[in-house]
Every structure is written in structure tokens, then in C-alpha cells.
């Protein structure tokens, strides 16, 4: 194997380790929202415990990026693979933190009756999961059309967030005893909205990786 081939292999391994981290984060989000909706404390606890692993994956990926930079003098797309690797791992780690935050809220709510069966929050989570799946596929296949679709899908999550926000405010106004729980659920919705923002970042980094062009934020 030539030096170049071996380097290409390492860059490919870097991309695959980001995919693996993305899948872990996806599971954490799924478990966190599932635990909340079904009030499963064991599952929330699992999410909290898995956060250390996600944090460690970020550190490992960063170290791998640093080694790749130090070993070779990467240029053009090689350099963009490493640079976007450093950025995407930050977004994924932050998403993992939000899953952790949601699991903490689930534990603090405990087994108190929910305001109502949760519908829109799991729908937000489902939309975010679809976005994440597409963003990771776009990243691995370097598919900028799919990445563009992910960016557009973010509006759907924002729309649901606004709906959830208004509904929770209404609950609070109707019954002050519901305020504490509704506030917690408001945060959950906000975390999911932020998770979708991070997924949009991943899609934007993919577009940069392929084209070398930056999209303007907002």
C-alpha cells in the first residue's frame, strides 16, 4: 500500500468514526425522548450513562484529526475532511448533551402524571431523527442535494417548536399547578429545536466539504 493509499484509508476511517458517533447520538436522542414519553427512568439513566462514551468519542476523533494533520500536510479536500471532522464532532457532542439534558428532566419529573400524552414532542424528535439520518447519509456519500434537503427540513422542526411552545403556555395559564412541568417540557422542546440546528450545521459542513463553499448562517 502506498503512503497515499494508507492516508486515504485513515481519512475514510475518520469519516466512518463520525458516522459511528452520529449513530450513538441518534440512539441517545431516541432513548431520551422515549424515556420521557413513557416515563421510563431506567432508559433515562441509560442515556445519562452513555453520555461519557459520546464525550470520549469526540475526544478520540479530535485526537485522530490532530494526528492526521501532524502526519501529512493535508491540502484542499483532505484538509476539508479533517476541518469538517473537527466541526461535526462538536455538533454531535452538543446534541448528545441535549439528549442528556432531556434525560435529566425525565428523572426530575419522575412518575408524576404528564400534562397529557406527549404527541408533538415525539414528532419533533422523529423529524430530527429523519434529518440526522439524512445528514449522516449525505456526509458519507458526499451528497450535496440531500444535504440541502436537510437544511430545508429544519423549518419543519421550528414550526413544530412554535406550536409546542404556544400549547405549553396555554396549559400554564389554565392551571398554575402545571407550570413546573410545562416549563420542563418547554426546555425539552427547545433542546430538540437546537438538535435540529446542529444537524443543519452538519449538512452545511457536508456542502462545504464537497464544494469548498461556505453557506451563510441564518
Q: How far is the CB of 123 from its own copies (least distance, A)?
A: 21
Beta strands, E only, 60-204: none
Candidates 11-19, 83-91, 118-126, 134-142: pick the segment binding its own copies (CB under 8 A). Answer: 83-91
- Cβ(131)–Cβ(193) under 8 Å? no
Q: Which helix (H) or strand (E) holds 151?
A: helix 144-174
Residue from 17, 38, 90, 126 touching its own copies (CB under 8 A): that is 90
Beta carbon of residue 14, minimum distance to its own copies (angstroms, whole number): 14
Q: What is the DSSP string of 61-116?
A: HHHHHHHHHHHS---HHHHHHHHHHHHHHHHHHHHHHHHHHHHHHHHHHTTSPPSS
Which part of the chain contacts its own copies (CB under 8 A), choosing from 9-17, 84-92, 121-129, 144-152? 84-92
Q: Are 18 and 113 in contact (CB under 8 A)?
A: no
Distance CA 66, CA 52 (A): 21
Closer residue to its own copies in complex, CB, 4/216: 216
Count the Cβ atoms, other than its own, within 10 Å of residue 42: 7
Which cell numbers hold the place of 136?
449522516
Q: Using the rule CB under 8 A, is 162 a contact of its own copies?
A: no
| Cβ distance to its own copies smaller for residue 23 or 94 | 94
Window contacting its own copies (CB under 8 A); options: 9-17, 19-27, 66-74, 118-126:
66-74
Q: What angle do CA 199, 207, 84 make, to 5 degrees?
A: 70
Residues 3-62 that bind its own copies (CB under 8 A): 51, 55, 59, 62
Position 72 contacts its own copies (CB under 8 A):
yes
Using CB under 8 A, pick the residue from 77, 116, 159, 214 that binds its own copies: 214
**What cell was used for 121?**
414532542
Closest CA to 90 of 154, 21, 147, 192: 21
Query: Does residue number 211 form part of the binding site for its own copies (CB under 8 A)?
Result: no
Positions that interact with its own copies (CB under 8 A): 51, 55, 59, 62, 65-66, 69-70, 72-75, 79-80, 82-83, 86-87, 90, 169, 172-174, 176, 179-180, 183, 186-187, 190, 214, 216-218
Amino acid at each position: 500500500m502506498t503512503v497515499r493509499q494508507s492516508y486515504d484509508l485513515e481519512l475514510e476511517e475518520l469519516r466512518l468514526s463520525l458516522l459511528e458517533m452520529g449513530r450513538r447520538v441518534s440512539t441517545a436522542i431516541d432513548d431520551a425522548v422515549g424515556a420521557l414519553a413513557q416515563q421510563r427512568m431506567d432508559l433515562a439513566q441509560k442515556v445519562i450513562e452513555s453520555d461519557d462514551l459520546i464525550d470520549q468519542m469526540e475526544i478520540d476523533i479530535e485526537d485522530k484529526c490532530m494526528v492526521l494533520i501532524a502526519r501529512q500536510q493535508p491540502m484542499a479536500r483532505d484538509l476539508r475532511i479533517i476541518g469538517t471532522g473537527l466541526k461535526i464532532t462538536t455538533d454531535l457532542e452538543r446534541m448528545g448533551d441535549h439528549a442528556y439534558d432531556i434525560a435529566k428532566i425525565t428523572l426530575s419529573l419522575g412518575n408524576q402524571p404528564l400534562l397529557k400524552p406527549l404527541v408533538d414532542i415525539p414528532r419533533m424528535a422523529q423529524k430530527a431523527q429523519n434529518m440526522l439520518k439524512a445528514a449522516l447519509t449525505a456526509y458519507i456519500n458526499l451528497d450535496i442535494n440531500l444535504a440541502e434537503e436537510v437544511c430545508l427540513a429544519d423549518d419543519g422542526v421550528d414550526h413544530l417548536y412554535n406550536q409546542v411552545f404556544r400549547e405549553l403556555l396555554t396549559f400554564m395559564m389554565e392551571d398554575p399547578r402545571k407550570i413546573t412541568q410545562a416549563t420542563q417540557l418547554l426546555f425539552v422542546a427547545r433542546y430538540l429545536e437546537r438538535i435540529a440546528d446542529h444537524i443543519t450545521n452538519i449538512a452545511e459542513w457536508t456542502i462545504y466539504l464537497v464544494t469548498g463553499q461556505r453557506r451563510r448562517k441564518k
